[in-house]
Structure 1
Amino acid sequence: MNILTHTDFLIFRKIDKMPVLVVEVDGYYYHSNNPKQLERDRMKDKILEKYNIPILRIRTNESGEEKRIYDKLLDELGVR
């Protein structure tokens, strides 16, 4: 219920609106130097895990994001 609590992207099934994957984009500088943000990220991960909602964290200093998202979606949908 906190307006500051959200996910960056939620991919869901259109038919039943059930979540398939959460994608979080973590800014390298902001997340690496911010203990409070790291704690919030851990809490978010635990909540999503509790509800069996997979999460993919992508750092802004990495590459290959599109392929990582695509591969994770295939895995979660059981297509591979």
Structure 2
Amino acid sequence: GADAFNIDLPDTKNTYQANAFTPGVDKLVLLGANSFTIDNTGANSIVDITETAGGQHTIVTVVGVDLAATDITTIV
């Protein structure tokens, strides 16, 4: 089955790392309204997230994969 990697954006923590992520199967779930970009230029995917309410900046490193926008879900 699929795994969900939940990132609680209102939390004060602003750096996360996700391991054992399977693109196309698993989901990176962003809890809170936001916009994001994905940088796949290296061996890992770097997801740069900015909360639309409050502007908190969060970085998620997904180790060893090329992440697509379809691998990310937002729950407001």
Q: Which category of TM-score, normalised to the shorter sequence, fits these structures?
A: 0.3 to 0.5
Report which structure shows greater RCO (CA 8 Å, sep ≥6): 2
Q: Which has the higher helix share?
A: 1
What is the TM-score of this pair, normalised by structure 1? 0.33
Q: Which has the higher strand share?
A: 2
What is the TM-score of this pair, normalised by structure 2? 0.34
